[in-house]
Structure 1
Amino acid sequence: MLLTAVAAAAISTPATAGTPSVTRGSLVSVTPLATYDSPAQVGDLLSAAGFATPISRYGVSLHRLVYRTIDAQGRPAVAGGLVVLPITTSRHLRTVSFAHGTSVYRGDAPSAGGDTFLTGPAISFAGAGFAAVAPDYLGLGAGTGPHPWMDVPSETSASLDLLRAARVFTARRGVDLDRRVYASGFSQGASAALGLARALQDGADPWFRIAAVAPVSGAYALRRVEIPAVFTPEVQPRLAAAYMAYLLTSYDRLHDIYRDPKDVFTPDYAGIGDLFDASHPGEEVLAGVPSSVDELLTDAGRALLRHPGGRFAAALREADSVCEWAPRVPVRLYFSPGDEQAVTGNTVACQQSLAAHGVRAPAVDVGVDTSYSGMVHEGSQLLAVSQIARWFAGL
């Protein structure tokens, strides 16, 4: 079933003024990835990957969508994402958008389909009866160029345009997506989910509306909480170095925050930005970063993080703004205590910021599971997803 011209026009949005025209959310390609015909297959897949108490009411089908969007400068770009649909006779589905955690390698994206840790959340929501979309973001999956890590505006635009592309795709299959969107995401994706929710509440799309928000283990307060924590044992030291190298190189590409890498990175790591171009697998990146932030940074680099100014401070304010608004829909913040990557103070800070805007956002302690990677952080996704699916289903 093809979309009518009217429906297609309602979904699409032109590019930012001053840039070449692009029909945002238009499909470039669709690739079937896998089908799990029965609820039992879905449950077995999720349980084997470590997802706690999965809901598996339906079989599911997985599809890679490549679609048109804009890059971090508002120029035409393409991106990819995963769409998972329940195998059901229903012709009308509510939608969950789930944004994934930090990836450094282009092949580590939901639409690549090879890692159930990345595909599992969308499979979980589809198994519960939702249409589920999982954006790759810019530069990952089908995207080109470096990934603009922790850039909320481009995370938001990529997520929104995947929703539009999914509506085109499902309409061709005779399925109508409900206006209601339930936004969730893990780690980096927690900020992306809040950014998408804010955009939808502000009317960024003529069709979709936000229904509820459930971020998991986000770094919502980079400047006030997360960056100070990387200089303490609260954040695992090698991962602290990796995250700060990623942050500085990504923000320098976007905002020109330092004159020369040698000014902020020690001589052995002055070229570390090359590791974060999305072409190096995560194991290679971790092997190439030092064992601590102190080994990574010069005195000037440490000062830049501890006392950001100018364009860097403005970029951090934008990232931290994801909790500085008043959602008019239910919000829950999911976390695991003792998180050694996105420290729990981030959730506390987000909860306080929302409260200052008159919004009560319960913080949900999902417990601790270190079976996946030995880390509390990754375990929080495995524990939270089914709880969120049940909450969304009951709204």
Structure 2
Amino acid sequence: MPARRRLSTVMTCAVMLVGPVVGATGAHAAPAHVDVAPSSHQKNRGTLLHAERLYSLETRGAVAAELTKAGFDASQVRHGVVAHRLTYRTIDPQGRPTTASGLLVLPRGREGRLRAVSFAHGTGSHRDDAPSMQRGTFLTAPPVAYASAGFAAVAPDYLGMGKGPGPHPWMHVPSEASASLDLLRAARDFHPLDRKVLVTGFSQGASAALGLGRSLQAGEDRYFGLGALAPISGAYDFGGAELPALLAGELDRKSSVIYAAYTLVAFNRVHRVYDDPAEVFRVPAVEALFDGEHTGRQLFEGTPDSLSDLLTPYGLDLLAHPRGGLAYALRETDSVCRDWTPRAPVRLYMAVDDEQATTANTAHCAESLRSRGVEPKVVDLGAVVHQGSRHLGSNVRGTAEVLRWFRQLARN
């Protein structure tokens, strides 16, 4: 399959219009819209501002059909599910108050407190490339799968995506972690949750998952703690593994163009990487494509097909030899496996010959954790393919494998 179509599945994730709200039945019969009354606590992170019931899959058969249509395993479905969009208070990369949205999927027929699974999604370009904005897609299948097995699945949209304001600070682990933690807090306001959180994520979300795990273990929330970590196909060593592989032509060519551009634009939003886009891009208008309003197709049509046509000599050299704001941003992003020692079980999932996230990322992460006395289990998912992509395939098979492990942990 051409590279253009492969990456468009990740970057485009076509907008899914949610149909009419199904009548509420069962244990989670929440009204379609719930506005939380203003209180003195609304200035706090994680305060639930608004809950909207999106859809209900009443039966196991309905869930299985939706997962199968999205290309995901349906063998572990045990419940119907109800999906909600939560809007909540959080902070931006500078620590200033803002809001974000995310998806909460609950199992039908399960009363009382539930174990939460936090799933962080992969890269998107349009603000609708977010779990709470779609249905029956590659983005929503993992949280639906976890909820159908009896967990409370929470999936942050991230800052600047879904219903959140502003641009998206892509691969900024601190804000991904804070948005994820604050969604857990909002979800607990909506439904009782267990203390120990099972944390997973795919691609961009793999680093976000590690960031959330670090925050949970550090006690950043007085209630929640870390139960287990299971990231899938992450770019954990973005500066030391991903960028070198990208520049060496070892990864999918068009993917490399998109990720190189996204790296410079998104990191520049938090740490000054350049003063003018003309310094790094041969066509400065490329920067405007990453405003959250352009689709993946528009990114493909608006960017060249090679790094040499995308970047100026200075831009290429900057990626090859990061310095200034870029070097600082990479140290921050690449700290997810280096600056802490997980005390919960860790499994790292990867797929051989991943064409977007070089498997050296996983090897470096495992090595770093071992140097700190942690022995993560590395799970090779094999040469799995979804819509022509092994990277996407790793999320499909990885979701099934992570769910089996999480169910085993929940039984113990």
Q: How high is the TM-score relative to the length of structure 2? A: 0.88
Q: Which amino acid aligns with 1:197?
A: G
Residue 60 of structure 1: aligned partner:
81
SS at 2:138's partner residue?
helix
Query: What does residue range 224-373 of structure 1 map to in structure 2 within 5 Å?
Result: 224-266=240-282, 269-324=283-338, 325-372=340-387
Pairwise CA distance, 1:53:
4.8
Counterpart of 1:380, as a letter, is S
Q: Which amino acid aligns with 1:360?
A: E
Deviates more, 1:114-123 or 1:210-219: 114-123
Q: Does 1:141 align with 2:181?
A: no
Deviation at 1:157, TM superposition (A): 0.5
**Gap runs ≥5 in structure 1:** 2-11, 15-20, 171-175
Deviations 1:212-240 (A, max 9, x none): 00000000011110001112332111110
Runs of at least 4 residues of structure 1 off by over 6 A?
none
| Residue 198 (str. 1) matches residue 219 (str. 2) | no
Contact 2:74–2:145 under 8 Å retained in 1: no
Instruction: Give the whole-Å Cα distance in 2 for the aligned partners of 1:287 and 1:155.
Output: 28
Cα displacement string for residues 34-75 of structure 1 (whole angstroms, at most 9, x for unaligned residues): 111111211121112111354100110000011111111111
Distance 2:273 2:242 in 1: 19
Matching residue of 2:108: 87
Residue aligned with 1:178, SS: coil
Query: How much has 1:289 moved relative to structure 2?
Result: 1.2
Secondary structure in 2 matching 1:271: helix
Q: How many Å apart are 1:248 and its aligned residue?
A: 0.2
Q: How does 1:4-153 map to 2 (within 5 A)?
A: 22-153=43-174
In 2, the alpha carbon distance for the partners of 1:252 and 1:115 equals 34
Which residue of 371, 388, 394 maps to 1:380? 394
State how far apart, in whole Å, the 2-side matches of 1:37 and 1:264 are.
51
Contact kept? 2:90, 2:100, Cα under 8 Å: yes
- C-alpha separation in 2, matches of 1:302 and 1:52: 41
Confirm or deny that 1:220 pairs with 2:241: no
CA distance, structure 2, for counterparts of residue 206 and residue 108 of structure 1: 31
Compute the displacement of 1:367 (Å).
Answer: 2.2
- Equivalent residue, structure 1, for 2:22: none
Question: More displaced, 69-78 or 53-62?
Answer: 53-62
- 1:368 offset after TM fit, Å? 2.7
State the Cα distance separating 1:194 from its structure 2 match. Answer: 0.2
Task: Look up the SS of the partner of 1:211 in the other structure.
Answer: strand
Other structure's SS at 1:278 match? coil
Greater Cα shift, 273-282 or 42-51? 42-51
CA contact (8 A) 2:49 2:88 kept: yes
SS in 1 for 2:395: helix
Matching residue's letter, 1:160: L
* Matched position secondary structure for 2:332: helix
Distance in 1 between residues matched to 2:43 and 2:272, nearest whole Å? 27
Equivalent residue letter for 1:151: H
Aligned-residue offset at 1:110:
0.2
Cα distance change on mapping 1:371 and 1:308 into 2, 3 Å: closer
Letter paired with 2:253: P
* Closer, same or farther: CA 152–46 of 1 in aligned 2, 3 Å: same
Take 1:51 and 1:35, find their aligned partners in 2: how far apart are those partners? 18
Q: Is the 8 A contact 1:22 1:69 kept in 2?
A: no
Q: Note if contact 1:230-1:293 (Cα within 8 Å) is conserved in structure 2.
A: no
The separation in 1 between residues aligned to 2:344 and 2:335, in whole angstroms, is 18
Question: How many aligned residue pairs are there?
Answer: 371
Deviation at 1:375, TM superposition (A): 1.0
The residue type equivalent to 1:180 in the other structure is: K
Distance 1:312 1:13 in 2: 39
Counterpart of 1:273, as a letter, is E
How far, CA to CA, are the matches of 2:218 and 2:62 in structure 1? Answer: 39
TM-superposed CA distance for 1:26, in Å, is 1.0
Query: What SS does the aligned partner of 2:273 have?
Result: coil
Q: Which residue of 1 aligns with 2:12?
A: none
Query: Take 1:366 and 1:109, find their aligned partners in 2: how far apart are those partners?
Result: 25
From the superposition, tell whether residues 13 and 95 of structure 1 become closer, same or farther in structure 2 (CA, over 3 Å). farther
Answer whether contact 2:120 2:155 (CA < 8 A) is retained. yes
Structure 2: how far apart are the matches of 1:377 and 1:316? 22
Supply the distance in 2 between the matched residues of 1:143 and 1:156 (Cα, whole angstroms): 15
Residue of structure 1 in register with 2:6 after alignment: none
Q: Deviation at 1:311? A: 2.2
The residue identity in structure 2 corresponding to 1:342 is A
Instruction: Tell me the SS of whatever aligns to 2:194.
Output: strand
Q: What's the offset of the Cα at 1:115?
A: 4.8
Percent identity reads: 51
Opposite residue 116 of structure 1, the aligned amino acid is T
Correspondence 1:156 to 2:177: yes
Report the RMSD for the aligned CA atoms in angstroms: 1.6
Q: Does the 8 Å CA contact 1:13/1:24 hold for their aligned counterparts?
A: no
Aligned partner of 2:227 in structure 1 is 211
How far the C-alpha of 1:292 sits from its partner, in A, is: 1.4
Query: C-alpha distance in 1, partners of 2:203/2:110?
Result: 34
- Distance in 1 separating the partners of 2:354 and 2:73: 18
> Cα distance 1:13–1:113, how it changes in 2: closer, same or farther (>3 A)?
farther
CA contact (8 A) 1:367 1:383 kept: no
Distance, in Å, in 2 between the alignment partners of 1:357 and 1:283 is 43
Q: Per-residue displacement from partner, 1:131-167 (whole Å, max 9, x unpaired)?
A: 0000000000001221000000100110000000000
Structure 1 letter corresponding to 2:250: E
CA distance in 1, matches of 2:303, 2:75: 36
